[in-house]
Structure 1
Amino acid sequence: MLQQGFVLTRQIVETDGKSCLVLWLNTVDGPVKLITEPQESCFFIQQTDSPQAARILSAQGIEHQLRELELRTFDQQPVTALYFASPAQAYQVRDLLKGRGIVCYEDDIRLANRYLMERFVCGSLCFSGNIRQQSGYVLVEQARVKRADYQPTFRSLSLDIECSGRGQLYSVGLSAQDHRAVIMIGEPESGPDWIYWVADEKALLQALITQVQQYDPDLFIGWNLVNFDFKLLIERAGRLGLPLLLGRGNSAVSWRDGRETNQGFVTVPGRVVIDGIDGLKTATYQFDSFSLEHVSQELLGKGKATEDVDNRLAAIEHDFQHNKVKLAEYNLQDCVLVEEIFSHTRLLDFLTLRSRLTGLELDRSGGSVAAFTNLYLPRLHRAGYIAPNLPADGGLASPGGYVMESRPGLYKQVLVLDFKSLYPSIIRTFKIDPMGLTEGLLEPEKAIPGFRDAVFHRSRHFLPDIIASLWAQRDEAKQQQDAARSQAIKILMNSFYGVLGSGGCRFYDTRLASSITLRGHDIMQTTARWIEEQGHQVIYGDTDSTFVWLGDEVTDEQAAEQGRKLEQMINQRWQQKLRDELELECFLEIEFESHFKRFVMPTIRGSEQGSKKRYAGLKATDKGDKLVFKGLESVRSDWTALARHFQTRLYEMVFADKDVLAFIRQLIEQVKAGELDEQLVYRKRLRKPLTSYVKNIPPHVRAARLADEQNKALGKPLRYQHKGWIHYVITLNGPQPLEYQNAPLDYEHYIERQIRPVAEGILPFVGENFDTLVSQQMGLFG
């Protein structure tokens, strides 16, 4: 019986001029190191270019192998494969041939990725080979692998370092369910037994290596773990001439710089380094700030004592000199918070399932294009095709999702009908697929019509079947209330449209993306027409959602019943229409998603035209009515707390048919009296280095520059030079950082820029005018 495992890390090792793949696995019996038989790197050229390629390579004395294959391009040109002993040689030849005008295909597929995807290996595999027991792991040489369905159980270790402002290591914290340790530089003091005292940085790193090798984790987890903790550990070890042997088999950690400033990649053979920030972003979590303090407060309701960088650094440096036990407790707390966040969000479950669905590495950020390639390419090869190249010009823009011109107003009884996973269901229903397009163009009279002259084959395709399989798995996950699994599948399915419309994907074709979005336009417009034929008014539509006004006199019970009837009618008509006109099974499904008892669709500021992607309403739920905002000030982090609180209360009062004028007047007076100063702070992200802002200098950048000028004058670290967040206020002297405010606040600014826009979004619908209100107030109190 073949053994099973889950791929942790993958590397290429060249020995005697041959390339072998080294895979470290998690198995039920512990870590396994697989070394495959020698593998050849390959790419493709058209057969018509083979003679010229052979002459070029022979003239250069490059050893190679050319083999004509029963494969062809999407242009129906037969191809030849070129094989090489190493990736380096393949890349050298690729560049040489391209320089001579020969087009190469699939020349950027990495050997390790090709090896796994062509065997349909997605995370899990089974293996055989020559097995030998080594110290701490099993070695399998001459290994062969194939796909399996193995669910791993990982041994993870949370890691966090504390250091000085100049990067000198103070301590390293490690934590897991069954392990607690802080390695601290200094003379032993009385304290918990999980503090390990060492003499200096070298001893600290040596103790870290020992702790890691003894605990033997599959995963390191942490916060900004790659580009701070591991980067600094590698730098300090390098300065000391100490190999950082944190990998399995006593292998060393290695670092590779990324394309972006201060970004890089770490490799730890046999162990995966998973950064909590990147992981949560991949799982589509959104926070105003991804600091550990903010995220832990949001998710866990607890965190660290302070989020102020200067004070925290000063406290760390002070405690290292005067209270090292306190610093150790602080260090360990960070490790534990990361553990609890991973547990609370089931982040490892999500990342593991994503890997098992797509073959992406556990630590891979983003990766939608790579996931699609992993799933699609091996199927395409078996159907007799190779993949096209990336579009030379980056690709043409495809039409976006449908957005209807809204009808502004204050309404009662508005329903929202949503198409369930609209774009995946369009792909599945209308057989939209890269190979399906190629095959459809060969037999257009039998094909399914798309848009922009696209036609799709009725049976030769893969993507619709991939989505059908994922859809069934997601339905099963929902029934089992497996949120992590359901979310992973949803993200994957919804990524397919974006991939097909991206110039960064080898399968990009504007006809593919357009046949999805423009079909969506047609579906939304047809659905709206059917609804209005029933005597209702569609006041807005956006991508997959249709907003229906039933009339102010309808009761709540009647509204819910109408929603169910519309859902049934629309689904039946789409099934019949597609069966009668195109002989297609319909996978489109609309759902009665929401019932708003009160609803406001605002105008564009300064215009009578209805806005888009901005609305608010009082939504009926099983737990009572809920106030919902979309795209308005209350859900935007770059507006002040004043605007957010004001909007929430104002809309509550309007929806309850209460007089709002006295409330607004009182709020303005409170602002002018300085009673709400704590709500007047702006918080905004610096999205590029401070020196990159040259021509247009927005207020938050001016505040950040003032702050760092003051920091420099006081001998403090510069906080805002490399992105980050700034808290600032608008004063009579302009924007100033909150920590160095020295001028009075400009209250008129806040009334005009924070109160007025919110009020003007709804006051006209209740027959009131902000200018009139303010002028009356000036007459009373001026």
Structure 2
Amino acid sequence: MVGYRSSMIPYSPNGGKMIAGRRGVAVHVYADYRRGRVFVVGRLDDGRSFAAEDAAWRPTVYLRSGDAESERVRALGLRFMPCALAALDGTALASWTAPGFGAYRDVTERLGALGMAAHGGGGLADLYRADRRLGLGVRVSGEERPGRRVDAVIADAAVEADDGADAPLSVLSLDIETDESDRSVRAASLSMADWSPAESRLMKRDGSTMVLMVPAPGAVGPGAGHREGFDAIVCRDERDLLASLGERIVALDPDILTGWNVVDFDLARLVERAEARGMVFDAGRSSDAAKVLPKGRGRTATAIVPGRQVLDAMRVARSGPERYDDYTLETVARRALGRGKGTSLRGAAKLAELDRMYHDDPEAFAAYSAEDAALVLDVLEGTGLFALTVARAALVGIGLDRAWTSVAAFERAYGEALRSRGVAAPPFTQGRDVSGAAGGTVLPAAAGYREGVVVLDFKSLYPSVMRTFCIDPLANARAGAADDIVAPNGARFAREPDGARWPLPDLVDSYFARREEAMARKDATGSYVYKILMNSFYGVLGTSSCRYARTELAGAITSFGRLVLLRAKACIEREGPSVLYGDTDSLFVATGLGPDAEYRAYRERGDALCRLVNEELAEMAEREYGVRSRLELRFDKAYARFVIPPLRFAEEADVDGADGEPAIARGRSKGYAGLLRGPKEDPGGDRVDVKGMEAVRSDWTPLAREFQLRLLDMVFSGAAEPDVGAYIASILNALERGELDARLVYTRALRRSASAYLKSTPPHVKAARLAGMTGRGSVSYVLAADGPAPVDPDGYGASGPGSPRPDYRHYVAKQLLPIARSLAASGLAVPLSPFGLESPQPELF
């Protein structure tokens, strides 16, 4: 780890044996400044843990030749030599190899004071990885001896890159319970799992779950020994718990420590409490203490446990493909696994219940703690997130802890591509003015009901734009010729050298090819990882934390994307069909086919339009830019019936009561529904598909979501208006009788703590304050006559003593009526008479 001082991992004085090219996984790579060597620590393919000690590598400083030859540099007593690397703009570089790590740090600091930043820079571990081209997989050669905290120490090792990452890994989940009155640790739970690369599965280790606990004063139990699902270990006091916990982790020897918010909470608190007790929290593969580096500008908090990686499961879930109402373990587990920790209490109520259990029912408290640790492993396996993390780290060539960091992934992949072309990575410049990546182009949506709509979308539009128009930091730095490619936003890119590709287009080309190969062999994980990697590059180029980012680079991508979308729209509409809506890479086209047409007819019409567009875009790319098009519009899906609600009703229906704007015929962007038409052989048949409307928004009540889905299903299936009206009336009557109370619970997320809302206090914030919530998360509540009232979503429903009675008029006015009005105004047969209203005039739309 960058800048981390570690004692050498000791090994026994017994003789060793030579190994050559032993494959393994590099779990942790870090530099020991004091001893001047790099350690690569991980797991060999035979299952043994190892520490490879590379004492031969020395870091190199690269400067522009003009700077290297200046009097100021000569005055430092440094002699830079010509080298084969150049700067991004083509300027020749000179190099100086440091005799040791301390000298490297001293020289780079002194050069920085002179205003000269080193090229190809970074932390020593990153430099080592770049020089050795190390990814997750490695091959290790050298003399092997038994170690004290690892199975094998390879001194004076030769470490080489290996394409595979096939070693088994062990994963230990950690969770602690605390007393917030004095910040002490009451209990710690551990649960172990093993990663099988052959099966791509994370398998929990039987009998590995344990709870270490300091009993409450005067409490009876828990006694030490085995329980159903876990072992209980009684500790004398907090000091004993901290020491025992570290010893248990060392004995289990996991490659990866995980947990839910394990960096910011669990490990941070363990380190804090150890220091408060005059101890070190010793849980690594060396005797050095674990530490947590606090978050800083543009950097999240980082945990360092020597020789292991810390993988925060909550951060992984936030980065993964699924979106959740909030990212508490309870919410994610219930959605992913169908079960949670056994309580839906939050905030002060949850803390009070845990405190009661600790003092009055320690057996239940211990069982709760054990489930916390075990549940994290179930989530990582059940969601496939651990498999995705390993695949992403292996494919990009970065550590597991940074597998989901887009900037690190891009800089690693692009930096290696530059190096292979004789170009060093540029220095990172603080305080650069990078305005960020703009959003995609959204074409105005035409509100109303249509029949026979097809959706056409571009295959990975932004990566295809990079491939087609040579969007590349190196090409941008080398621009300046009359024949440059000029993006619509004015950014310039040099043309590719004869017979060669610029690094970024070439990299994306390779990812496209590898994704196709993964799809052909039905490797869903590999296909997804390549897709997400390619799509992240656009955002990275507009992020100030990336050394390659520039505002014009991200702007060039979006400006070309807009050009492509508008050209495609114009081409389609010249053929007769109308484009109802467009968003970034998709076009919604009214084909003129009726709702009874078969899927094949929709597909043939869509494919024909795609061929026309692709041919026109290829001609445009060649004629106007002199490049070969990699743009591909494809048929995505077909709707027999389709509706885009009018914008006015989307705004009137805001659950917090925002005022609506004047009626306009524009449709709601990113919100539509349709009857999806599939092939005859599709066993699912036609089905209602909803995007961006109330039925799929978590901040609407379950009743509202069910109501909208049922209305859409009825009208798309041809139900008569009186039948639809009868359904609406039945819902209103059941609501008034209190039969639907369980479906009236709002669940809203707080993006910051409830106390941080100062300018306004929306209902969910009021409910959170009443519930005693202190941090971020989600709150469940009902709207009663006197305002929001927090409730337990699992237990609410049968109105009784102490149960808040919903304000039914609110739910009619703010949840049911806006949905019905929106669909009626779109031209669907949804009567408003059950609400005592007339339907809107169709000529408005």
CA contact (8 A) 1:5 1:26 kept: yes
Corresponding residue for residue 36 of structure 1 = 54
CA contact (8 A) 1:158 1:338 kept: yes
CA contact (8 A) 1:411 1:552 kept: no
Corresponding residue for residue 688 of structure 2 = 627
Q: Within 5 A, what are the aligned runs for 1:243-258?
A: 243-258=280-295
Q: Given the superposition, is the C-alpha separation of residues 554 and 695 from structure 1 closer, same or farther in structure 2, using an over 3 Å criterion?
A: closer
Counterpart Cα distance in 1 of 2:436 and 2:185: 49
Corresponding residue for residue 746 of structure 2 = 682
CA contact (8 A) 2:142 2:158 kept: yes
Counterpart Cα distance in 1 of 2:776 and 2:802: 21
Q: Given the superposition, is the C-alpha separation of residues 453 and 705 from structure 1 closer, same or farther in structure 2, using an over 3 Å criterion?
A: closer
Q: Within 5 A, what are the aligned runs for 1:678-757?
A: 678-708=742-772, 720-738=773-791, 745-757=806-818
From 296, 303, 312, the equivalent of 2:340 is 303
CA contact (8 A) 2:21 2:140 kept: yes
1:160 matched to 2:175: yes
Counterpart Cα distance in 1 of 2:595 and 2:505: 41
Q: Within 5 A, what are the aligned runs for 1:269-348?
A: 269-309=306-346, 313-321=351-359, 323-348=361-386
Counterpart Cα distance in 2 of 1:576 and 1:500: 28
How many angstroms does 1:448 deviate by?
Answer: 4.4
3-state DSSP of counterpart to 2:670:
coil
How many angstroms does 1:189 deviate by?
Answer: 5.8
How many angstroms does 1:165 deviate by?
Answer: 4.7
1:21 matched to 2:38: yes
Partner AA of 1:603 in structure 2:
P
Corresponding residue for residue 602 of structure 2 = 559
Counterpart Cα distance in 2 of 1:349 and 1:765: 44
1:429 matched to 2:468: yes
3-state DSSP of counterpart to 2:546:
coil
Q: Given the superposition, is the C-alpha separation of residues 511 and 239 from structure 1 closer, same or farther in structure 2, using an over 3 Å criterion?
A: closer
Paired residues, what number?
A: 758
Q: Given the superposition, is the C-alpha separation of residues 98 and 520 from structure 1 closer, same or farther in structure 2, using an over 3 Å criterion?
A: same
Counterpart Cα distance in 1 of 2:147 and 2:225: 40
Counterpart Cα distance in 1 of 2:669 and 2:441: 11
Give unpaired runs (5+ residues) of structure 1: 709-719
From 442, 449, 469, the equivalent of 1:403 is 442
Corresponding residue for residue 611 of structure 1 = 668
3-state DSSP of counterpart to 1:526:
helix
Corresponding residue for residue 645 of structure 1 = 706
Counterpart Cα distance in 2 of 1:676 and 1:120: 61
Q: Within 5 A, what are the aligned runs for 1:588-603?
A: 588-603=631-646
Counterpart Cα distance in 2 of 1:772 and 1:92: 80
Counterpart Cα distance in 2 of 1:453 and 1:374: 24
From 326, 333, 358, the equivalent of 2:396 is 358
3-state DSSP of counterpart to 1:507:
coil
Partner AA of 1:492 in structure 2:
L
Partner AA of 2:549 in structure 1:
Y
Bigger shift: residues 38-47 or 722-731: 38-47
Q: Given the superposition, is the C-alpha separation of residues 70 and 304 from structure 1 closer, same or farther in structure 2, using an over 3 Å criterion?
A: closer
Counterpart Cα distance in 1 of 2:616 and 2:440: 22
Counterpart Cα distance in 2 of 1:767 and 1:332: 53
Corresponding residue for residue 152 of structure 2 = 138
3-state DSSP of counterpart to 2:529:
helix
Give unpaired runs (5+ residues) of structure 2: 1-19, 194-204, 216-220, 649-662, 793-800, 840-845
1:513 matched to 2:551: no
1:124 matched to 2:143: no
TM-score by length of 1: 0.88
3-state DSSP of counterpart to 1:491:
helix
Counterpart Cα distance in 2 of 1:94 and 1:250: 30
Corresponding residue for residue 234 of structure 2 = 198
TM-score by length of 2: 0.82
Counterpart Cα distance in 2 of 1:239 and 1:320: 23
CA contact (8 A) 1:422 1:520 kept: yes
Bigger shift: residues 536-545 or 272-281: 272-281
Corresponding residue for residue 714 of structure 1 = none
3-state DSSP of counterpart to 1:624:
coil
3-state DSSP of counterpart to 2:813:
helix
Q: Within 5 A, what are the aligned runs for 1:461-480?
A: 461-480=502-521
Q: Given the superposition, is the C-alpha separation of residues 149 and 97 from structure 1 closer, same or farther in structure 2, using an over 3 Å criterion?
A: closer
CA contact (8 A) 1:132 1:138 kept: yes
Counterpart Cα distance in 2 of 1:671 and 1:210: 58
Greater helix content: 1
Counterpart Cα distance in 1 of 2:447 and 2:835: 24
Counterpart Cα distance in 2 of 1:613 and 1:87: 53
RMSD of aligned residue pairs (Cα, Å): 3.3
Q: Given the superposition, is the C-alpha separation of residues 702 and 84 from structure 1 closer, same or farther in structure 2, using an over 3 Å criterion?
A: farther
How many angstroms does 1:87 deviate by?
Answer: 6.5
Counterpart Cα distance in 2 of 1:771 and 1:346: 45
Q: Given the superposition, is the C-alpha separation of residues 106 and 693 from structure 1 closer, same or farther in structure 2, using an over 3 Å criterion?
A: farther
Counterpart Cα distance in 2 of 1:229 and 1:180: 19
Deviations 1:63-94 (A, max 9, x none): 65544545444444444446656767666665
3-state DSSP of counterpart to 2:168:
coil
Corresponding residue for residue 373 of structure 1 = 411
CA contact (8 A) 1:183 1:204 kept: no
CA contact (8 A) 1:39 1:85 kept: no
From 626, 631, 636, the equivalent of 2:697 is 636
Corresponding residue for residue 15 of structure 2 = none
How many angstroms does 1:516 deviate by?
Answer: 2.1
How many angstroms does 1:545 deviate by?
Answer: 0.9
CA contact (8 A) 1:245 1:251 kept: yes
3-state DSSP of counterpart to 2:169:
coil
From 232, 236, 244, the equivalent of 2:269 is 232
Bigger shift: residues 213-222 or 79-88: 79-88
Deviations 1:155-200 (A, max 9, x none): 2223333444544323423333244242444563675395243342
Counterpart Cα distance in 2 of 1:313 and 1:697: 24
Counterpart Cα distance in 2 of 1:400 and 1:171: 44
How many angstroms does 1:547 deviate by?
Answer: 0.8
How many angstroms does 1:505 deviate by?
Answer: 2.0
Q: Given the superposition, is the C-alpha separation of residues 205 and 688 from structure 1 closer, same or farther in structure 2, using an over 3 Å criterion?
A: same
Q: Given the superposition, is the C-alpha separation of residues 57 and 682 from structure 1 closer, same or farther in structure 2, using an over 3 Å criterion?
A: farther
3-state DSSP of counterpart to 2:412:
helix
Q: Given the superposition, is the C-alpha separation of residues 72 and 90 from structure 1 closer, same or farther in structure 2, using an over 3 Å criterion?
A: same
Deviations 1:342-395 (A, max 9, x none): 222332321122112223221226421111111122332443434444484422
3-state DSSP of counterpart to 1:489:
helix
CA contact (8 A) 1:390 1:504 kept: no
Deviations 1:608-658 (A, max 9, x none): 222211111111232222222211112211222232122112222222233
Q: Given the superposition, is the C-alpha separation of residues 497 and 411 from structure 1 closer, same or farther in structure 2, using an over 3 Å criterion?
A: same
Q: Within 5 A, what are the aligned runs for 1:665-676?
A: 665-676=729-740
How many angstroms does 1:777 deviate by?
Answer: 9.3
CA contact (8 A) 1:399 1:518 kept: no
Corresponding residue for residue 27 of structure 2 = 8
3-state DSSP of counterpart to 1:2:
strand
Q: Within 5 A, what are the aligned runs for 1:404-553?
A: 404-439=443-478, 441-445=479-483, 447-451=484-488, 452-458=490-496, 459-551=500-592, 553=594
